[in-house]
Amino acid sequence: MSAWCFTSVVWRSGFQRYVLPRNIPHTSYVSNKIFGNQPLAYPCLAQTRSIKILLSKPEVESKVLAVCSAFDKIQSDKLTLDSSFIKDLGLDSLDHIEVIMEIENEFRFEISDVDAEKLHTPRDIVEHVYHSIKKAEPSN
């Protein structure tokens, strides 16, 4: 579906205040409204537009720890970069998936299932996100 067609679908659906620029191919909020799913609170750009700003490793660490500490099943006093989600923090596999999804929402990119299975600690997530940022960095 072209961006123009998508924009006109949004317009015809009565979501005039959510009209998208023609160069954005997809947002979760609008597709969820069109396809009848529960809408998200904010638009998430597709993976092609994932990481727009370059963060330093300490910034990534603080964001990851903030996301993890905001998760209601993680006790902040037990949380460190080297805490195992399952062993140290007592999360089950579904809780682990929820944490990974929150990380995806925070950094606006998708973590594959294969990679998500390897992310056992916040430090693993930091390394994965930081390397993804480095890959997305434009070469000079």
What pLDDT was estimated at residue 47? 39
The 10s digit of each residue's pLDDT in 16-69 is 444 444 444 444 444 444 444 444 443 433 333 444 567 899 999 999 999 999
The predicted model gives 92-112 an average pLDDT of 95
Over residues 77-82, the mean pLDDT reads 95
Residues 30, 15 contacting (CB under 8 angstroms): yes
Mean pLDDT value across residues 90-103: 96
The larger pLDDT score, comparing residue 16 to residue 74, is at 74
Q: Spell out the domain ranges in the chain.
A: 3-49, 57-136
Model's pTM, two decimal places? 0.63
CB atoms within 10 A of CB 35: 7
Grouping H, G, I as helix, E, B as strand and the rest as coil, residue 123 is helix
| One-character DSSP codes across 42-102 | S--B-GGG---S---HHHHHHHHHHHHHHSTTS-GGG--TT--TTTTT---HHHHHHHHHH
Report d(CA 72, CA 95) in Å as an integer.
10
Taking only the tens place, the pLDDT of each residue in 106-140 is: 999 899 999 999 999 999 999 999 998 888 776 65
Identify the H or E element spanning 28.
helix 28-35
Could you say which of 77, 82, 88, 92 is catalytic? 92
92 catalytic per annotation: yes
CA triplet 24, 108, 38: central angle to 5 degrees?
80
Q: At the topology level of CATH, where does 57-136 sit?
A: 1.10.1200
